[in-house]
Structure 1
């Protein structure tokens, strides 16, 4: 499947490879381990599923735009400047003089387990006021791919209305990428699972963890997820340390496995994990980067794993992706060499001159 999108006249908003729409917040990371009550100071960072994807794609050489609302405050300044510093177009981010930029604090524990605390201060944030009339829809749709997540519709009724507009049929609708990102704590009305299923069925590419599918929809196994989502062109089910499987459609537009009768599965890499934050966003960015380049589904999954490995081997949410040529060489390895890869901190900088690299040395990237 090739990512295609609307064509614009010179006097209309420039079409970029990817637009990512969603809330970003200023993150306060602890200066030392321990409960929030005992942490004396924090370092400032940024966090946002959609902006993470935009930043990684921009760092990988794609044109990317982030659409959101931030407060007319110093934290909003920090978000716009930091995300723009990655090469992301932030010119369509709107300032809200009446609402603040969201912030949150978290402990040093792993957010993917219960060994952490997170304190969010996002209620009534500027981003929660996003709506069909509160964002520039032309700028949102001027993309080959529009990346959304299940966090945005949980922020407010207006945000849910916006998501429904963006995933509905439209003459200028780009390819819609949707990361389910189920956050039960955000859905106080209990309607999260049904809303997320509705939005996922309106997307073209869907990313969902098998654990999310069990928790939100009571689905067990990748095939059950695909059966519940027959509409998207591609459904990617992430299986944690096991790997990820992608389902496509046949020539008649019906949900199916790949042409050889099996789903496209790629095992995850052996990674020396520094912090398990941002890996899901990085996986989506790697997959979308390969989609924009019209690579085979297997290679899209491999690029997803490689970009996730870059995030897993740094302490923060964002990590520079591997150089495209480096990632392409690793993605092209045979299955045996792929299975031998061992990736640790600094691996994205470990590329050697081509004339000094052999297949065994490459397969043992540090």
Structure 2
């Protein structure tokens, strides 16, 4: 297994019309979740990924597992909870460049994920463990599961990749800051956005944030700066990789997950750090051009064509 990840995915409902959701009378149904988005992004780029989670014993849970499995992700570590439902969320496209998201996940099956749901042997042959700051915010048992996953990864010398993916509505700022810092100290690679760095450290200068995250113990820090691109920092080198221009952003949700998938794909393919970040920027840009969390994730041929075309346009 190239990458394993752990976290909640939910059923996504999106109005077929634009504007306040109170006026919508028809919705389309899809599936989405930060960790499974990354897993699907990786399979599309030719890698093997596995997703650890828990779903309800309901039609939503069955449909979700079938969909993610159909995308080539290993779902053998997904358990079913007969006493809790699969979570749902709504994406509201109010107008151009204004998309709002509403979550209904309290008491969901995935929030009941615990360290007992982890199979230690599953971590043995992974090349990376990918985790986000969403899962530990779901419940105390989910938080314990994340730290158990970290422990198992370290036992098998599996590098840990951490995307803070801050969700302030899920927990208090104090609890979030404390937990995200604790995970960052355990991670080998961290993928924060500048806003997340400011939340954690009270700093917004990219160079200072890179230094602060490195001081926590990470060997690589990738600092995302939205459409402008991303910075990378190690003890030996640092730099900035510009983003790819997008004429019209259709749906920005999921771009960060695409970024993570693109970056991990670059590492797995042996690219140097700046080239891996460049691929991450490209995947993130492509995701914003399509409605849905995973619908815009490219395959290897698409990402190479997009990057080559964009680079040729710049040269001209």
TM over 0.5: yes
Query: Which residue of 2 is the match for residue 199 of structure 1?
Result: 183
C-alpha deviations, 1:330-349, integer Å up to 9, x for none?
A: 7689xxx73845xxxxxxxx
Aligned to 2:286: 310
1:138 equivalent among 121, 125, 145: 121
Task: Give every structure 1 segment of 4 or more consecutive aligned residues whose post-TM-superposition deviation is greater than 6 Å.
Answer: none
Partner Cα separation in structure 2 for residue 104 and residue 216 of structure 1: 26
> Secondary structure in 1 aligned to 2:198?
helix
Q: Structure 1 regions of 5+ residues with no counterpart?
A: 1-15, 251-257, 342-358, 361-366
- 1:240 alignment partner in structure 2: 226
Superposition CA RMSD, Å:
2.3
**Counterpart secondary structure, 1:107:** strand
Give 1:208 shift: 0.7
| Corresponding position of 1:3 | none
Counterpart position of 1:121: 104
Matched, 1:178 2:162: yes
What is the match of residue 41 of structure 2? Answer: 56
Equivalences for residues 244-283 of structure 1 within 5 A: 244-250=230-236, 258=237, 263-272=238-247, 273-283=249-259
Indicate if the aligned counterparts of 1:235 and 1:248 stay in contact, CA closer than 8 A.
yes
After superposition, give the CA deviation of every residue in 1:37-91 in whole Å (9 maximum; x if it has no partner). 2211211011100000000110111011111000111010111011111111112
Q: Cα distance 1:85–1:171, how it changes in 2: closer, same or farther (>3 A)? A: same
Structure 2: runs of 5 or more not aligned: none
C-alpha contact 1:310 1:321 (8 A) present in aligned 2 = yes
SS at match of 2:179: helix
In the aligned structure 1, how far is the partner of 2:92 from the partner of 2:298?
28
Change in Cα spacing, 1:322 to 1:51, as seen in structure 2 (3 Å) is closer
Report the structure number with the largest CA radius of gyration.
Answer: 1
Q: What is the TM-score with the length of structure 1 in the denominator?
A: 0.79
- The correspondence of residues 28-177 of structure 1 with structure 2, limited to 5 A, is 28-109=13-94, 115-168=98-151, 170-177=154-161
Could you say if the C-alpha distance between residues 290 and 189 of structure 1 is closer, same or farther in structure 2, counting changes exceeding 3 Å? closer
1:332–1:274 distance in 2 versus 1, CA, 3 Å: closer
Tell me which moved more, 29-38 or 145-154: 29-38
Cα drift, residue 267 of structure 1: 0.4
Structure (1 or 2) with the greater helix fraction: 2
TM-score by length of 2: 0.91
Q: How many residues align?
A: 312
Partner SS, residue 191 of structure 2:
strand
In the superposition, relative to structure 1, how do residues 276 and 320 fare at CA in structure 2: closer, same or farther (>3 Å)? closer
